[in-house]
Structure 1
Amino acid sequence: MIAQARAGECIQALSAILDRNALLTGADIPARNTADTSFLPPVRPLAVARPDTPQGVADVLRICAAHDVPVVPQGGLTGLAGGAHPIEGAVALSLERLQGIEEIDAAAATMTVRAGTPLEVIQKAADEAGFFIPLDLGARGSCAIGGNLGTNAGGNRVIRYGMAREMVLGIEVALADGTLMTSLNKMIKNNAGFDLKQLFIGSEGTLGVITRTVLRLHPQPGCTMAALCGVDDYGSVVKLLNGARRGLGPLLSAFEVMWPDYWHAATVRVPGIRRPVEGDHAFYVLVEAQGLDEQVDGGRFQSWLESQFEAGLIADAAISQSKADTLAFWRTRDAAGEFQTVLGAHCAFDIGLPVDAMDDFAKACRSRLEVEVPGCLSVYYGHIGDGNLHIVALVEGAATQPAADINRIVYETVRAFGGTVSAEHGIGTVKKPYLPYSRSAEELALMATIKKALDPKNILNPGKVIDLDVEAAS
């Protein structure tokens, strides 16, 4: 009864600072705020708060902290690990109204944006201003930049530009007690004390809620070159990657690898996907390079490809002659977004491994799944150039997927190969039981110490990523 009374008092206090459209309760809570894309069952939160200013976000946290009511931050709700999934009895803090590009500083090559702004809006604004935002995800049209930073998103071009944290110069964060910490730095060089922004990037809203950020802009590419290659063995894939790093240098922007099982699912099962390369190959590699001058950089790319053919590393290849060709190449890689429709319910994994171990891992993981989960299909693909492998696994036609067994097998194999259970999608609740597979007891204890320091009442996204109780965490 005391908890219910405090929850009621909290809602009453929130209603005093938020207008009617900014505080939703009961049947007025939209279905979209009851789940993210992690396949967890929907949960109706206590309320949905939708402030439209950074101070409004801080005020919501201050009130919830005063009434001991937990808060779950929500952005575009495209996460796959349950980080934004609501909790019963908690306030869902939606940033969907906290949108807008506040400034593009051409001299500093920076953009200041609000955390609820969709990534695609930011990309287009940069393009119109003659700049380039390298972060790119399949969910670009609906994912929000705050969530991208909260999970330290990766995407397709990490091999050249790094993870999301590499594009952040400044940040503003609402802390658990309602303090608004503004540090909207625009300088690349700023060593004045701790780099506090790094505490919050990748913490999935468990340490603070990002409200604004200063993003670093890059020069707009003048040309993009791509080739989709058929390769005969994994050793040649690794040699091709090393050759691309040496021969293309900073031009290399993506190196995507698809195993044959993925290639078949993408080009046979998904409608409308054209095979740029015919015939059967052991691996299919998409190499992309971005330059400034088509004549100079395009020629360099062509020469590099010819050298790889001469070295026997490429068996066959299709080379882009237009933007349409490049997009067609990428559609084979982005076809994974259609697997839910063509393959049905499945388990999806985002893991990191040493590059030279990836094929051995795939063989071992596939073998265990086939033996221990009869009828299990698993397909492998990913951003191999930055050590990130994706897996889709399922028993086709099963009324219910044996997710517990599939998860156990995949993550046990990851642990055996010295990998990480999360490369770019975060931990949330889905991967939380497996975090000790990739982090030592000492690391987990330090994470809990930081959580206790910044959120002693465990208000922010409780139960996600790390527990305050070190024993429970380890």
Structure 2
Amino acid sequence: MNDLPHVLELLRQALGESAVLTGQAISPRHHSDWTGHAPQCPAALLLPGSTEQVASALRLCNAAGISVVPQGGMTGLAGGAVPRANDIALSLERLRGIEEIDSASATITVRAGTTLEQIQQAANEAGFLFPLDLGARGSCQIGGNIATNAGGNAVIRYGMTRDLVLGLEVVLADGRVLNLMNKMIKNNCGYDLKQCFIGSEGTLGVITRAVLKLAPQPAEQTTLLCALPDYASAVALLRKVQREVGTPQAYELMWQDFFRLGVSWLETPVAPMPDDYPLYVLFDTAAPREQLERCLEAAMAEGLVSDAIFANSHAQARALWKIREATGEFPIRMVPLNFDVSLPIGQIGDFADLCRQRLDQRWPGNHSVYFGHIGDSNLHLTVDCRSLPVPTPLLEVEELVYTAVGELGGSVSAEHGIGLLKREFLHHSVGPEALHAMRQLKDSFDPKGILNPGKIFESQPVYTGMAR
């Protein structure tokens, strides 16, 4: 870091005085992400406004061996954008805007700092749908969404972010710019390099532009809440709906504990149906209501559904979704320890039972809730740390949950990446040979290891003693 003052002066010459901030000029929002994990003011914050400026910044930092932490909207939940005191943070917030909407190819070309909501709105105004959707849509940036391979509610129908990216522009650690921009679905020219950077959490390169796939706007949607007798019925109902009606836009499963919690947090805490059923599923579909009603009648006759209500207006649909969106209240009403895992769909119910049993055995009286997008193998589990002993045994809880994930052949991260907070548990899902190959890829793209060091790989996270 002896070169830091000299490098900062070179960076100011390349990017401009206003694009290189230090000390108290750096907003606290760049100190940590939404986890609040180990907040730290970086040595400097860079605000490049073009791909060329990103390239210049990385070239200078790489030559001096100074580490760089790429940052997007800071809405991550794995600590992937958290800097250290000797890091330079590189924010993409000035690199934003819609460059083009191509109606013929059904694509939208955007800069990496553009928020997800801006892309959704531009697509809608052009008569299309950009189907990636997250609760943080107004703050998260598309570069970060791509770098973490974000998921969301509509994955069951449209896929992960990876499935929506046709082309990328990426700046490597040494400042070289890879032009991987492409509008074609079929492009079979050797290695598909863009896939290396999707989900790489800024450890291999910095994404600066992207070409994204658009979808047709769906017809008017029907929202339906169903009560279910058991987990097997949730899977059977999904498959029945897919066969007879078509894949829904969203299929959200809530265990009884989550449903009760979500209802209790409503402005008017009145359950839309009895709250003593084991499971509830909330789903949206663009299929004709008559067709859906026939499917539902058959499902009830088969014992797959115990109770059901249709939303008869947009307001009623929003009221039902408010229950599922109780997760937005977790940081306010809980001290949440959140898990985002993926398992074979048929084993998600067994995993939930196993975790609940092991948590209850180890910490009687603990409070945990279960919910998720099971149609795409994703389960979320949140433990309220207020129900655990003090000091909170974070590592023990995480090891218990991730060990169970490994036992059932699952993934310790479904849609939020590894970052700082899951790297110690990556071995539960990735074998030593694959981890070695990942390190080789990192060494190839970033030989000096300046890009987002300590994320994904290093074995020992630094815990602050605070619950996440």
What is the CA deviation profile of residues 358-379 of structure 1, one whole-angstrom value per residue up to 9, with x for unaligned ones?
1211111112112213432111
Q: How far apart in 1 are the matches of 2:24 and 2:293?
A: 59
Residue 256 (structure 1) aligned to one of 226, 234, 252: 252
Q: After the TM superposition, which of the residue ranges 361-370 and 397-406 deviates more from structure 2?
A: 397-406
Aligned to 2:410: 419
Aligned to 2:234: 237
Q: Is the 8 A contact 2:74 2:81 kept in 1?
A: yes
What SS is found at the alignment partner of 2:286? Answer: strand
Aligned to 2:264: 268
The answer to whether 1:365 aligns with 2:355 is: yes
Q: Is the 8 A contact 1:225 1:289 kept in 2?
A: yes
Aligned to 1:435: 426
The total of aligned residue pairs comes to: 458
Q: How far apart in 1 are the matches of 2:354 and 2:211?
A: 43
What is the CA deviation profile of residues 272-328 of structure 1, one whole-angstrom value per residue up to 9, with x for unaligned ones?
56533234111000121135xxxxx23222222222122221111111222222222
Aligned to 2:85: 88
Aligned to 2:215: 218
Q: After the TM superposition, which of the residue ranges 368-377 and 166-175 deviates more from structure 2?
A: 368-377
The answer to whether 1:7 aligns with 2:7 is: no
What SS is found at the alignment partner of 1:249? Answer: coil
Amino acid at match of 2:10: A
Can you give the 5+ residue segments of structure 2 that lack an aligned partner in the other structure? 460-468
Q: 1:273 to 1:400 in 2, by over 3 A?
A: farther
Shift in Å at residue 397 of structure 1? 6.0
Aligned to 2:54: 57
The answer to whether 1:319 aligns with 2:316 is: no
Amino acid at match of 1:191: N
Shift in Å at residue 135 of structure 1? 0.4
Q: Is the 8 A contact 1:349 1:391 kept in 2?
A: yes
Q: Is the 8 A contact 2:265 2:326 kept in 1?
A: no
Q: Is the 8 A contact 1:270 1:339 kept in 2?
A: no
Amino acid at match of 2:439: A
Shift in Å at residue 65 of structure 1? 0.3
Residue 141 (structure 2) aligned to one of 141, 144, 147: 144
Amino acid at match of 2:394: A
Amino acid at match of 2:428: Y
The answer to whether 1:378 aligns with 2:368 is: yes
What SS is found at the alignment partner of 1:181? Answer: strand
Shift in Å at residue 108 of structure 1? 1.0
List aligned pairs for 1:324-473, cutoff 5 A.
324-343=315-334, 345-396=335-386, 400-467=391-458
The answer to whether 1:286 aligns with 2:285 is: no
Shift in Å at residue 394 of structure 1? 2.2
Q: How far apart in 2 are the matches of 1:273 and 1:106?
A: 45
The answer to whether 1:166 aligns with 2:163 is: yes
Shift in Å at residue 400 of structure 1? 4.7
Q: After the TM superposition, which of the residue ranges 13-22 and 391-400 deviates more from structure 2?
A: 391-400
Aligned to 2:465: none
Q: How far apart in 1 are the matches of 2:268 and 2:68?
A: 43
Q: After the TM superposition, which of the residue ranges 270-279 and 208-217 deviates more from structure 2?
A: 270-279
Q: How far apart in 2 are the matches of 1:114 and 1:394?
A: 38
Shift in Å at residue 467 of structure 1? 5.0
TM-score with structure 1 setting the length: 0.94
Shift in Å at residue 455 of structure 1? 0.3
Amino acid at match of 2:221: T
Q: How far apart in 1 are the matches of 2:49 and 2:270?
A: 44
The answer to whether 1:299 aligns with 2:290 is: yes
Q: How far apart in 2 are the matches of 1:280 and 1:368?
A: 23
Residue 201 (structure 2) aligned to one of 197, 201, 204: 204
Aligned to 1:46: 43
What is the CA deviation profile of residues 422-453 of structure 1, one whole-angstrom value per residue up to 9, with x for unaligned ones?
00000001000000100011110110010000
Q: Is the 8 A contact 1:174 1:181 kept in 2?
A: yes
Q: After the TM superposition, which of the residue ranges 142-151 and 280-289 deviates more from structure 2?
A: 280-289
Q: Is the 8 A contact 1:228 1:277 kept in 2?
A: no
TM-score with structure 2 setting the length: 0.95
Shift in Å at residue 236 of structure 1? 1.3
Aligned to 1:30: 27
The answer to whether 1:133 aligns with 2:133 is: no
What SS is found at the alignment partner of 1:405? Answer: helix
Q: Is the 8 A contact 2:96 2:114 kept in 1?
A: yes
Can you give the 5+ residue segments of structure 1 that lack an aligned partner in the other structure? 292-296, 469-474
What SS is found at the alignment partner of 1:89? Answer: coil
Q: How far apart in 2 are the matches of 1:72 and 1:463?
A: 10
Aligned to 2:68: 71
Q: Is the 8 A contact 2:156 2:249 kept in 1?
A: yes
Q: After the TM superposition, which of the residue ranges 80-89 and 304-313 deviates more from structure 2?
A: 304-313
Q: Is the 8 A contact 1:70 1:461 kept in 2?
A: yes
Q: How far apart in 2 are the matches of 1:323 and 1:175?
A: 46
Aligned to 1:181: 178
The answer to whether 1:246 aligns with 2:236 is: no
